[in-house]
Structure 1
Amino acid sequence: MTVPPAFPRPSDGDDPAAVLRALASGTRFDAVDCSGLDLGRALATPGEPRTFRRCVFSGARLRGARLDGAVFEECVATGADFAGAVLDGARFTGGRLASSDFADADLADAVFDGVDLADTGFRGAMLDDARFTGCRMTGARLGGLRGLAVTLTLERCAMQLADLRGVGLRGIHLKGVDLSEADLEGADLRDAVFEDCRLRDAQLRNAKLAGADLRGADLGELAPDAPALLRGAVISPAQAAAICAALGLHVVP
């Protein structure tokens, strides 16, 4: 299959229309720069999955684009607009998508591996069976997810300051996830398992934690309201002792 040639930046004199025509008709792209372009119409038709390698989509509009099964390798899409895009089964490997917007996008079965997703928005997105591994998700916004978010996989991700208010993650198994200072207010974490995770200074007000296994979580310095916030959760003897200490109690063996 022929790989289209790399395009220079449209701002450097290339015709943006040529870029759009290539995207509409091709399936494999290397080092194509689509910065600031509106790609919704060019990518509106579903077909054979497209592969993008080292392409740039910074500030581009991909609203409603049909990118089922698309592959993004080491691409840069900072500030890109993927709102309402269909990315079912898409795979993102490496690259930077910081401050991008996936609001209401279909990301079922999508895979994000080693991607910079800092400050990225997923409000209203479909993340059934989506998988995030080794991603930087500092400040990411996952409120209001659609579908069965319990099937979401999060492993070795940095999610400090992330917004997960009201997210339904019942039964999820988190591995190596740093949720320090994350906002989990009202989140459904019943029966969730936290393995080698950090919850230091996380906001847990009104979170549902019945049956949640927090023995593998670093809870940080506990405040006197910890017993109420962690009601129903499974904790270790060391964590229980820390809670007693926060209450001013001395546990004597």
Structure 2
Amino acid sequence: MIARLPASLTPAADAAALFARLSQQECAAEGLLLHGADLSGTEYEGLRLHGVLFENCRLTGCRWERASLTDAVFRGCELSGSSWEDSFFERTEFTDCKAAGIRFGQTGWRQAAFSGCALCGAGFDYARLRSVKFSHCALDQATFSACMWKDLCFSQTALCAASFLHTPLAGLDLTGCDIDGLAVSDTNAELRGAIVTAAQAAMLAKRLGLVVRI
């Protein structure tokens, strides 16, 4: 487990009202448990969350931009269509979450994990990803344009028609992923140095107009 949750968490009775107050006062929420909370459509800017567990919560279409999350865990949550632009995540985990079309543009990440999440159409454009792992996730048609990354890992993850425009993939292991229709620039420069299987290499060779004979 990456996140360091407190041994004891305080249940939050009215999370929407609490977060609205903390956002206005520029105070941090610490050591909270949110179970089954419906925060759909809420809008907070600059929210700070430390040691918070979200279980089976709904955050559909919420806008929590410029937020700061440390030691936060999302389990079985619905986050589709939400926006977290310009936010920072440290030691944060997402497990078995639905987050189609979620927007993580211009976010910063340090030690984070996504496991069993549906992230189709997610936007990570201009994100800074450090020690981030995606395991058994669906990232079809997701965008990772102009990202900076270090120690990024995709394990058993679907990346069909995902876009890595202007994001160098040198050293990135894609062998456990479905990369059919992966989108890069016309020069294919992003693919240089990427680690792929022989079958994946044959598929990518078609982008270069090559005919592979076996």
Q: With the length of structure 2 as denominator, give the TM-score of the two structures.
A: 0.83
> Structure 2: any 5+ residue segments left out of the alignment?
1-7
Residue matched to 1:242: 203
Q: 2:120·2:142 contact (CA, 8 Å) conserved in 1?
A: yes
Quick check: 242-251 or 94-103, which moved more? 242-251
Alignment of 1:1-253 (within 5 A): 50-52=10-12, 57=16, 61-62=20-21, 63=23, 64=26, 66-146=28-108, 149-221=109-181, 225=186, 227-253=188-214
SS of the residue aligned with 1:198?
coil
- How many pairs were matched up? 202
- Provide closer, same or farther for how the CA distance between residues 76 and 205 of structure 1 changes in structure 2, counting only shifts above 3 A: same
CA distance in 2, matches of 1:129, 1:190: 15
- Residue 173 of structure 1 and its aligned partner are, at CA, apart by 2.3
Q: Give a deviation string over 1:63-105, Cα, whole Å, max 9, x none.
A: 2453211110011110112322221111000021111122122
SS of the residue aligned with 2:74?
strand
Q: 2:140·2:159 contact (CA, 8 Å) conserved in 1?
A: yes
Q: 1:226·1:243 contact (CA, 8 Å) conserved in 2?
A: no
SS of the residue aligned with 1:180?
coil
Which of structures 1 and 2 has the larger relative contact order (alpha carbons within 8 angstroms, sep 6+)? 2
- Provide closer, same or farther for how the CA distance between residues 222 and 127 of structure 1 changes in structure 2, counting only shifts above 3 A: closer
Q: 1:190·1:209 contact (CA, 8 Å) conserved in 2?
A: no
CA distance in 2, matches of 1:65, 1:82: 12
Instruction: Say which structure is richer in strand.
Output: 2
Letter in 1 for 2:171: G
CA distance in 2, matches of 1:223, 1:98: 28
Q: 2:164·2:183 contact (CA, 8 Å) conserved in 1?
A: no
Q: 1:213·1:235 contact (CA, 8 Å) conserved in 2?
A: yes
CA distance in 1, matches of 2:106, 2:182: 29
- Residue 252 of structure 1 and its aligned partner are, at CA, apart by 2.3
Larger radius of gyration: 1
Q: 1:97·1:115 contact (CA, 8 Å) conserved in 2?
A: yes
- Provide closer, same or farther for how the CA distance between residues 223 and 132 of structure 1 changes in structure 2, counting only shifts above 3 A: closer
SS of the residue aligned with 1:197?
coil
Q: 2:89·2:110 contact (CA, 8 Å) conserved in 1?
A: no
Q: With the length of structure 1 as denominator, give the TM-score of the two structures.
A: 0.71
- Provide closer, same or farther for how the CA distance between residues 77 and 210 of structure 1 changes in structure 2, counting only shifts above 3 A: same
> Structure 1: any 5+ residue segments left out of the alignment?
1-47
- Provide closer, same or farther for how the CA distance between residues 93 and 226 of structure 1 changes in structure 2, counting only shifts above 3 A: farther
CA distance in 1, matches of 2:182, 2:63: 35
Q: 1:189·1:210 contact (CA, 8 Å) conserved in 2?
A: no
Letter in 2 for 1:145: T
- Residue 126 of structure 1 and its aligned partner are, at CA, apart by 2.4
Question: RMSD of the TM alignment (CA)?
Answer: 2.5
